Structure 1
């Protein structure tokens, strides 16, 4: 891989490691330490994700207009500022507003990172996005494990730890990212607007596939919200729960040689990758619905991890393939914003369903959404086929 990709990998790893100190513990912190209900905790996470949607779209837009370096720096500086505030004030209701800022600032950074890796290594294809995905998950493996140890001493220390990692990421971005990719020519982009407007089919295809992506995230996010509290209610410790995410991250890295032959055969069959991954997702949640022991939760997490190894890198890869030139950032912004919308409404929906019907029924209801995600994966290319037929006439 090019040196530029390695720099982005390192930056993404540090960024996600810091974020992983917080996101698995948000619901637990609000519910067990701040005394808020699951519904209220879900509402706060919805606000966090809602500001993240705005940040995702803005980050993609800024990448196309001012370049990846400036957009990443803007988001990172804002994140450092918010984390300084969170380190000082993490009581109620200050927690709500600061977490909202973090959603917005983090949302700016991620689509820019994905769009940048596609621009610095265009011939890498799925390999480029898989590299960033792996970096994320190494961070996910390490972050929660450290967070569990830190929280066992004092949960308030996780805010300081997150701040330190973001300062390190800021230094790396400031020093190394400036010359990774050239700043887009605004006038050139403006001259392409007519061409972009005529390319509606890729946009429609993107919206169809990312709608299914949204549904998978609504279900997936239950692991960090309703399922996390359910795990603790069964007598499993916070440290053991955090270890589940360590297993998730490590398996994503260690199992790469096992799934590589399958991915290689399906390299140009994104649709097959999506469907296989979603079906595996469904199997994971069937297991967790009946889980009563820690071993069963480990089993479910292993199955979940295999599924996401197919789905998560495939969607940004498809976005890069579909994006008209000069709109790569915008398309990555759509991908990230749809995932963020799933994280936004998932906790609230899950919390309400748990309170009304219980955890098991909540899992069955939400898992049924996966059938619609399979349908969108099968049908997303219909607009592209219609466009090709019209052009051939």
Structure 2
């Protein structure tokens, strides 16, 4: 049977990412400045948007192992498109908040289903698959966020129209190019296997390693969100212009492209996923150590370079390793958990960071982040050494 081509999965992630990047960057500004919603309520709305993404990721992964992935991705894209079309006509308060929740649900759902479909591609190394999906997701963020300010200055309605159009295009791609995903899934998972998996348990060594990864993702993303949510304020207190903070993310995007090319080349000759993850986590930790001493813009540039190296290696490699530790009957569930725990960290990050800053200081926050990620790094080493030889590897 014909299997789905990676290029169409990558293209789908790109369209999804651009469309979603038209929404989340403007949410705070639009709610507060345009609709007059208090910052506290804005924080609650964004928290529920993130929690919706967690829920969508988990449900999407759970259903992937039991239902036709072709139908699931169609449903997810239609849900996202409907929420955006509704925003064209109804973007007042409180309906905007409700539609943002629905949009978050679809976002987590779609990303998990696409990643889960990616586990069925066996023509190339799984690292290459997840590296390309991660690259497309980040490229979409760069394109979307670079355009959102310009389009928003013209009309917020135009933003929703363009985003709806992107998801309409995504739906067309899904309808015409994603059907082989159902064939591959049906060939690999018969009804008997779907039923029998519910009575099975994952081997204990696999479960311990996976649990460690999920908790690690929660902690790493919680700390990573400090770059997104609180660092801009800290930099302005040092009299560094906001445009310089924005340029850090331009550096981030450009470096991710370069690093992904290198990682994809490395994947042809080097297969030790755990060492890649450990190196990446160590680099993320070092970025916060640099921030502790940052008092000029150069330090922030160096810290961003170190952070980007870490994230570009860690975030696509963890789902690739999770893929090798989970049976085909449950790959969707565990890819969904990867996204769920990551989304939970993104939801928790701004709140936790704000509490620590108000209680102590920004420097204390950076120290806490570095220590927390070091504990993650050490935990991965200890759990992997104790369990990897007994773990079952799935292909």
Q: Is 1:351 equivalent to 2:354 in the alignment?
A: yes
Q: Is 1:365 equivalent to 2:364 in the alignment?
A: no
Which residue number in structure 1 is paired with residue 118 of structure 2? Answer: 117
C-alpha distance 293-365 of structure 1, shift in aligned 2 (>3 A): same
The TM-score, its normalising length taken from structure 1, stands at 0.86
Distance 1:361 1:248 in 2: 24
Distance 2:340 2:138 in 1: 19
What whole-Å deviation, never above 9, does each CA across 1:80-111 have from its counterpart, x for those lacking one?
11122333344443333222111111111111
Distance 2:365 2:242 in 1: 22
* Consecutive unaligned residues in structure 1, runs of 5 or more: 389-393
Q: Is the 8 A contact 1:52 1:107 kept in 2?
A: yes
The TM-score, its normalising length taken from structure 2, stands at 0.86
What whole-Å deviation, never above 9, does each CA across 1:127-169 have from its counterpart, x for those lacking one?
1111111111221222211123334555665444333322221
C-alpha distance 379-161 of structure 1, shift in aligned 2 (>3 A): farther
**Cα RMSD after superposing both structures:** 3.0
Distance 1:311 1:333 in 2: 17
| Residue 256 of structure 1: how far off its partner (Å) | 3.5
Q: Is the 8 A contact 1:17 1:139 kept in 2?
A: yes
Which residue number in structure 2 is paired with residue 252 of structure 1? Answer: 256
Instruction: Point out the more displaced range, 16-25 or 74-83.
Output: 16-25
| Residue 34 of structure 1: how far off its partner (Å) | 5.0
Instruction: Point out the more displaced range, 73-82 or 142-151.
Output: 142-151
Distance 2:34 2:296 in 1: 25
| Residue 237 of structure 1: how far off its partner (Å) | 6.4
The aligned runs of 1:1-393 (5 Å cut-off) are 4-30=5-31, 33=34, 40-121=41-122, 123-153=124-154, 157-182=158-183, 183-184=185-186, 185=189, 187-193=191-197, 196-197=200-201, 199-231=203-235, 241-259=245-263, 267-289=270-292, 291=294, 295-381=298-384, 382-385=386-389
What whole-Å deviation, never above 9, does each CA across 1:159-195 have from its counterpart, x for those lacking one?
4433332222122112211223424356233343267
C-alpha distance 366-38 of structure 1, shift in aligned 2 (>3 A): farther
C-alpha distance 262-82 of structure 1, shift in aligned 2 (>3 A): same
| Residue 356 of structure 1: how far off its partner (Å) | 3.2
Q: Please give the secondary structure, in 2, of the residue aligned with 1:120.
A: coil
